[in-house]
Amino acid sequence: MAIWIIIILGIVQGTSEFLPISSSGHLVLFYNIFNITDNTILLSVILHVATLLAVVLCYYKQIFELIKNPFCETNKKLLVATIPTVIIVILLKSLVEKTFSGDFIIIGFLITALVLLISQIKENKVNKLKNKYFVTQPNIYLSKNHNITNLNISYKQALLIGTAQGIAVFPGISRSGSTIATGLISGVSKQEVADFSFLLSIPIIIGGLLFELIDVVKGEASLNIGWLSLSVGFLFSFISGLVCIKLMLKFVKSKKLTWFSLYLVLLSTFLILNKYFLFLF
């Protein structure tokens, strides 16, 4: 694989990871454009680990607080949310591997677009009620002073968010989009569900890496990319993620999700046209 291709893949992963548009779906899209077919899941996981490092650096204060309080409510809810994710991933692992060929991403993008649209409609209704009945109260929905060790998320909501994260293992279905949308639909504020979503990504990405490394050790998977190229891709994924994460998080928390939904619909329309008429890749 040419080093400029791995650089592009790293940048795609770093810039799309923190938006609800499915970074894995965009990676699969570029795999198709560059005709990459070997061990794409392992490569995707490695690039995801690079952006995970960016998440850890961005949330290091919150993570430190959670480490200092291992039995706090947020940690318990993160654990509850992780359980259904792990179960779903294990049960659907073989099916998910087949979808990385690229045929599923159009469906995945459209599912994400629909979920984001539904969650935005729900949030609009909540905001209208808030403005009607609580005009004089401070806007708790975008408060930056919420207690990270006790996020205002119930165990039922955490379970729903974790289930959504598990389903989002399919490329094209955005992990952050699904978890944030599910949280909003179930009544969690955008600020808190965004933070919960990105913290929740840490154990699942680490787990995904371990699963793929086990396959490598067992000889069931290999990565036909030189370590230099892989390191460059990792570096560009990390740098682009680090540069974008705070801007992207601010955008996700403050802007309407319908913009992302519209983008995914337009992208899916183009991919459908390409598949049946344009044949560009």
Reading the chain (281 residues) residue by residue, the pLDDT tens digits are 789 999 999 999 998 988 889 999 999 999 999 998 876 777 888 899 999 998 899 889 999 999 999 999 999 999 999 999 999 999 998 888 888 777 799 999 999 999 999 998 988 887 776 665 554 333 333 344 468 999 999 999 999 999 999 999 999 999 999 999 999 999 998 889 988 998 999 998 888 878 777 766 666 666 667 788 889 999 999 999 888 887 777 777 677 889 999 999 999 999 999 999 999 98
The dihedral through the CA atoms of 108, 110, 116, 121 has a sign that is: negative
CA distances from 127 to 71, 138, 258 (A): 33, 13, 15
Provide φ and ψ at 141, rounded to 5°. -70, -25
DSSP 224: -
Give the residue numbers spanning the domain of 222.
3-278
Classified as helix, coil or strand, 102 is coil
Confirm whether pTM is higher than 0.95. no
Q: Which helix (H) or strand (E) holds 17?
A: none
Q: Provide the domain count of the chain.
A: 1
Question: How many helices and strands (H and E) does the chain possess?
Answer: 11, 0
DSSP line for 127-193: HHHHHHH-TTS--GGG-S---GGG-S--HHHHHHHHHHHHHTTSTTS-HHHHHHHHHHHTT--HHHH
